[in-house]
Amino acid sequence: MTIINYLYIKNDPCCHVIALSFYFPAETNVLFYLNDAVTQLLEHKEEYTQFGVARYFAEYFTSVKNGNHVLFREFSYIKATTHNRESFIHIFWKCFRQIGKNGDLLAMAEYSSLLQLLCPDFPTEMVQNAARIVLIEDATDCLMSFSDFIYSFQIQFYFEEFVESVSVIYQDLLSGKSPNTVIVPTSTSVEQLSSAANEEPDAQGGVDSSIFCECIEGLCERFKHKFPSSVAIKEILESSQRVSFYGFLMALAKHEGVNQDIGALPNKPDLLIDPEMDQELERL
């Protein structure tokens, strides 16, 4: 029995879902978008059915393709796919880059409000985590520039699961617990591990970079979520002997290659360029 025959047996779209999951790789998330399109249609049927459902679906998928689909949607939707995350970061940049141009410094709570303009239930916790990257954990009520904030926010949001897992690895290394990956200890690495354990958890020293690097590589081998390229990670961790957690994240935020791979934001020199707004402002 071919897949096509099977599709005709049941008279509802559910079985198509199963068929599609065989043919399309997960990254395209076609099923997710189809599912969401139908759910949205049912929730707002009065708005949509008057224009015809074909037009509704056409607009839905066009907006997905163009990256506008995440505007004013709930947090669970915008974080659901990497395309959605990248689109959201891009839209945040487009909407608020003028702030950067003016050179304004904002507090974490203000950035949180801006995010909630675009996504009503965006969690402040995530904004806090992003702020910690900029401010290296201390004094999260300090002011941040738009540029510093947005690149750190990008890392925190786009690689949320990776950041969480790396945090666990880092804590384990600090406390001297052996991490999930088995590292065959040479006498030097054991020394380094135990000396890391002897330091206080919030010591400035951080952890040994090469051990940290090995642990992260081990994580990435079996990791199901997005993570930065191993080239970038190695580059960052080979540049110093010891590294702190927020130091590592900050380096990721500043890394041009990582930024380009994500594709949501231009590199730093071009971040504040907004020719259309400049024209508008000149008219005033």
Partner 1 sequence: MAEKRRAGVAIMSDSKSAKAAGDEQLLSQAGVSALLRGALLRLLESRPLDPVGFLAEHFAHLSSEAEDGAPERRSVSRALWHLSLAHHSHRSAFNNNVRVAYELLTQSVPRRLGAGGVRGRLYSEMLRCLCSEGGLSGSTAAPLLRRIQSHDYESVPFELFRQGVLTCAVFADYIRKSQCLYAAVASAPDRPAERTLCQAVLSTLREALETAGGADVARYLEASAKISPAKVAQAMAEVQPRAQQQDGPTMDAQEFEDDAAALFIARVRTVT
Give the gyration radius of the chain's Cα atoms: 23
With binding defined as CB under 8 A, does residue 78 bind partner 1? no
Query: For partner 1, which stretch binds (CB under 8 A), given 47-55, 96-104, 110-118, 252-260?
Result: 47-55
Query: For partner 1, which stretch binds (CB under 8 A), given 51-59, 138-146, 168-176, 268-276?
Result: 51-59
With binding defined as CB under 8 A, does residue 24 bind partner 1? yes
Q: Which residues, 6 or more positions from 194, have their beta carbon under 8 angstroms from its beta carbon? A: 176
Q: Choose among 129, 115, 106: nearest CA to 249.
A: 129
Q: At CA 75, angle to CA 71 and CA 76, rounded to 5?
A: 120
Residues 3-22 that bind partner 1 (CB under 8 A): 3-4, 7, 11-14, 16-21
- By beta-carbon proximity to partner 1, the closer residue of 41 and 114 is 41
Alpha-carbon gap, residue 20 to 23, rounded angstroms: 5
In the bound complex, what is the minimum distance in angstroms from residue 30's beta carbon to partner 1?
Answer: 5
- By beta-carbon proximity to partner 1, the closer residue of 22 and 72 is 22
197 touches 174 (CB < 8 A): yes
Q: Choose among 26, 28, 4, 27: nearest CA to 15.
A: 4
Alpha-carbon gap, residue 239 to 283, rounded angstroms: 48
Given 44, 47, 55, 257, the residue binding partner 1 (CB under 8 A): 55
Alpha-carbon gap, residue 133 to 151, rounded angstroms: 10
Per-residue binding string, partner 1, 188-227, x by CB under 8 A, is ------------------------------------xx--
With binding defined as CB under 8 A, does residue 146 bind partner 1? no
Please report, as a single letter, which amino acid is at residue 220: C
Phi, psi for residue 70 in degrees, rounded to 5:
-85, -5
- By beta-carbon proximity to partner 1, the closer residue of 59 and 274 is 59
In the bound complex, what is the minimum distance in angstroms from residue 22's beta carbon to partner 1?
Answer: 9
Alpha-carbon gap, residue 188 to 64, rounded angstroms: 52
In the bound complex, what is the minimum distance in angstroms from residue 40's beta carbon to partner 1?
Answer: 12
In the bound complex, what is the minimum distance in angstroms from residue 57's beta carbon to partner 1?
Answer: 4
Residues that bind partner 1 (CB under 8 A): 3-4, 7, 11-14, 16-21, 23-24, 26, 28-35, 38-39, 41-42, 45, 49, 52-55, 57-58, 60-62, 64-65, 80-81, 224-225
